Amino acid sequence: MRILHLADTHLGYSAYRKVTEQGVNQREMDVYDAFTQCIDYAIKTKPDLVLHAGDLFDSVRPPNRAITVAVQQILRLSKEKIPFVVISGNHETPKLKETGNIFTIFEHLDQVYPIHNNQYETILLKQKEETVCIHAIPQCQNPDEFDSNLKKISVDKDADYNVLLAHGAVTGIKEFKMNEFNELFIPLKNLSQDFDYIALGHYHMYTKLQGNAFYAGSTEHLSFTEADSQKGWLEIELGKKLKHRFIPLQTRSMIDAPSLDCSSLRIEQIIQKVKEIIHGIEPKDKIIRLRLENIPAHIQRGID
């Protein structure tokens, strides 16, 4: 059985002032493009199942454009009869249950399984004479509720494969937290070897935690802490032995340039050095951060 695992697409995210010719934030469009690349690959390769491990959207109330992109792309999977299971993450889950969840817009789509009701759910699918049980835990309202749902997990011994789908920061190995609001933590003990595969979301860097557990990472760079990381998603083959392959996406380069010490420089010298550094990077179509250190206030005010 072949599964595609992605996470943290953050549709609706935008940053910086650069806009396209149509007047849309460039980074917002970059995020849409990365998600579309994932769907293109799925349509081309026809996996048995696509899993999204949370934070499909960047916010509880995503812009109309983000909703449109999500529906259009997920409909492509639906029309190809490719099952798509998606859990809500901390970014799109409202603080109050009465607010309602954006995932309700997917509930009428064929072959689409949105999990967002703050509780553990299982989905049993049959593909090519094999059955797979998806154990899905979406974002919950608080840590106690999340822990309670983790304790309810029970492997289906009648299924050929059992897959855990969860969104959170695994604790017990190293720090996998994102320091975000409403961040939930998954104890290491819950990454059971009883699962054939564990598909995780929340941590934005592709990471192998153990033989059967992976973070796919985000599909685009969302902060400079991710500047050096390759973005993509995972192709998983379940059988007698689990096989995995990281599929890189074509994304815009993000470069965190070395800082410039301005303590002994005049304003024209600073501007000249900034130009030299940027031209040395070959800046076309890249996102670059250059920090000016120890710059006197009166000089900073005079910089264009």
| 86 three-state secondary structure | strand
Asked if 149 and 186 count as a contact pair (C-beta separation under 8 A), the reply is no
Q: Is residue 300's pLDDT more than 70? A: yes
- For the chain, what is the mean pLDDT? 93
Q: How does residue 173 score in pLDDT terms, banded at 50, 70 and 90?
A: low
Query: Could you read off the pLDDT of 184-219 as tens digits, one per residue?
Result: 888 788 888 899 999 999 999 999 999 999 999 999
Asked if 135 and 105 count as a contact pair (C-beta separation under 8 A), the reply is no
Q: Is residue 32's pLDDT more than 90? A: yes
Query: What is the rounded distance in angstroms from the CA atom of residue 272 to the CA atom of residue 296?
Result: 17
Report pLDDT for 186: 83
Q: Over the range 121-135, which residues count as b (16 or more CB within 10 Å of their CB) and which as e?
A: bebebebeeeebbbb
Report pLDDT for 181: 65
Query: Could you read off the pLDDT of 101-144 as tens digits, one per residue?
Result: 899 999 999 999 999 989 999 999 998 889 999 999 999 888 89
Could you tell me which residues come within 8 angstroms of residue 113 by beta carbon, excluding any fewer than 6 positions away?
83, 84, 85, 86, 123, 134, 136
Query: Could you read off the pLDDT of 258-296 as tens digits, one per residue?
Result: 999 999 999 999 999 999 999 999 999 999 999 999 999
Helical residues (DSSP H) of 26-80, grouped into ranges = 26-45, 64-79
Q: Is residue 178's pLDDT more than 70? A: no
What percentage of the chain has pLDDT greater than the value 90?
79
Query: What is the rounded distance in angstroms from the CA atom of residue 43 to the CA atom of residue 16?
Result: 32
Query: What is the rounded distance in angstroms from the CA atom of residue 138 to the CA atom of residue 263?
Result: 50
H/E stretch holding 270 = helix 267-281
Query: Could you read off the pLDDT of 38-75 as tens digits, one per residue?
Result: 999 999 999 999 999 999 999 999 999 999 999 999 99
Q: State the SS3 of 126-187.
A: EECCEEEEEEEECCCCCHHHHHHHHHCCCCCCCCCEEEEEEECEEECCCCCCCCCCCCCEEE
